[in-house]
Amino acid sequence: MSERNIIAIHDVGSRGLAMPVPAPAERVGAVQHDRLGRVLHDLRISVTDRCNFRCSYCMPKEVFDKNHRFLPQQQLLTFEEITRVARLFVELGVRKIRLTGGEPLLRRHIEDLVAQLAALRTPEGEGLDLTLTTNGSLLARKALALRQAGLRRVTVSLDAMDDAIFRRMNDVDFPVAAVLDGIEAAREAGLGPIKVNMVVKRGSNDHEILPMVRHFRERYSGAVVLRFIEYMDVGATNGWRMDEVLPSDEVRRRIDAEYPLVPLEAAQPGETAQRWAFADGRGEVGFISSVTQAFCGDCNRIRLSTEGQLFTCLFAERGHDLRSLLREAQPDGQRCSDGQLAAAIGRLWAGRSDRYSELRAQLASTAGRGTRRVEMSYIGG
């Protein structure tokens, strides 16, 4: 077994930084700002570290092989623990929750968690923007149950229309037709608008950009929003190289040459994608440009790992151990109250100053040996 094989991704989480226990009387406000003035708005919850795909940019097979140690069940947050934490985040200002993985539809009875989260309400009595990101492999059989449980939208990852290329990229020989069936099932179930994310890797699938546009533009005419994501340097196992990044500006130029585009305003603050509409009105496309056009300035997202570690940046090296506050008795023998948990979360966000994408080049040149960022498969994209 090689050294790469025995890297246990959950070790990154188990070495999470301790979160101090606030005094019982400590109170926090409903609106949370970090050190750069960014407001807490989005919570991304990873419900499993497992996935049935082995995409090279996320879970390469040579690392995530049969010897890889995934998290044992007892280390995962229960649905009740996740819902308790989510409720506290809503009290602190979160209005959007995204379920991720790994592949979230592999988590047994995921519909039950969706139903619990869908029942949460803001202080104004409104429901949340509850969505889920999936590779689409199980979506055809799950879409209706997810919608009935209260899920509003789905985002599907799909990196090629050509079946041979897609099978090669997912590295488990999964057919593109099955993902397309899942997208159609989601549309029929009312999970919309559906977003389809394509990670563009120069030399691997960039020639699939226009076939993807043609398919979703012609078939769905706006009911599906296609988004192109620059290949990112998340984690330490995907062999990322800058020369494999195809800048979003180049992707946009290729599309615009065949289907003229016009810019759109952001739908809401902190939106990661730059939006462009087809000039003839047949829908829109988006571009997520974390590498070439950093959007750290208004990043409003925090991530909760499947074992209860909080990450204030997708490119973080370590998380913060919320699970211990949830489960372990404090010196007085009591578990943390909701107020103490909320105060701990608020204190963490208030101290946040992450802006990795803006500092990428500088950090890359000064990073020490052995630096290991958390993997995307552990906390979701």
Q: pLDDT of 89-106, one tens digit each?
A: 999 999 999 999 999 999
Residue 216 lies in a domain: yes
Q: Give the whole-number percent of the chain exceeding pLDDT 70.
A: 88
Residue 4 lies in a domain: no
Please answer whether residues 345 and 64 qualify as being in contact, where contact means their C-beta atoms are separated by less than 8 angstroms: no
pLDDT higher than 50, residue 7: no
Residue 5 lies in a domain: no
Average pLDDT over residues 358-367: 58
Residues forming a β-bridge with 288: 229
Residue 56 lies in a domain: yes
Cite the DSSP H helix spans in the chain. 10-14, 79-91, 110-118, 139-149, 163-170, 176-189, 209-220, 248-258, 322-327, 338-350, 360-366, 376-379
Residue 352 lies in a domain: yes
Task: Kindly list the distances between the CA atom of residue 39 and the CA atoms of 226, 339, 352, in Å, as whole numbers in the listed order.
Answer: 27, 20, 11
Average pLDDT over residues 11-22: 72
| Unique residue bearing structure tokens 């897609």 | 166
Which candidate, 321, 304, 375, places its Cα nearest to that of 92? 304
Give the pLDDT band of residue 273 (cuts 50, 70, 90): confident
Average pLDDT over residues 309-325: 91
- 3-class state of residue 360 by DSSP: helix
- State how many domains the chain has: 1
Which candidate, 135, 120, 35, 40, places its Cα nearest to that of 86? 120
Tell me the per-residue pLDDT of 50-71, one tens digit each, with 9 for 90 and over.
999 998 888 888 888 888 999 9
Average pLDDT over residues 70-86: 96
- In this prediction, residue 176 carries a pLDDT of 98
Which of 241 and 325 is assigned the larger pLDDT? Answer: 325
Residues forming a β-bridge with 195: 155, 225
pLDDT higher than 80, residue 233: no
Which CATH number do you get for residue 112?
Answer: 3.20.20.70
- φ, ψ of residue 230 to 5 degrees: the values are -65, 140
CB-based burial of residue 27 (10 Å sphere; 0-12 exposed, 13-18 middle, 19+ buried)? exposed
pLDDT higher than 90, residue 256: yes
Average pLDDT over residues 268-283: 88
Q: Give the whole-number percent of the chain exceeding pLDDT 90.
A: 67
What distance in Å separates the CA atoms of residue 367 and residue 335, rounded to the nearest whole number? 38
Task: Kindly list the distances between the CA atom of residue 307 and the CA atoms of 30, 47, 49, 313, in Å, as whole numbers in the listed order.
Answer: 26, 8, 9, 17
Q: List the Cα angle 292/293/294 in 5-degree steps.
A: 110
Residue 236 lies in a domain: yes
- In this prediction, residue 5 carries a pLDDT of 39
Domain around 166: 10-379
Residue 148 lies in a domain: yes
Please answer whether residues 167 and 175 qualify as being in contact, where contact means their C-beta atoms are separated by less than 8 angstroms: yes
Please answer whether residues 228 and 198 qualify as being in contact, where contact means their C-beta atoms are separated by less than 8 angstroms: yes
Tokens in use for 174? 């999964």
Residue 120 lies in a domain: yes
Report helix angle 110-118 to 79-91, nearest 10: 30
What distance in Å separates the CA atoms of residue 349 and residue 31, rounded to the nearest whole number? 11
What distance in Å separates the CA atoms of residue 149 and residue 54, rounded to the nearest whole number? 29
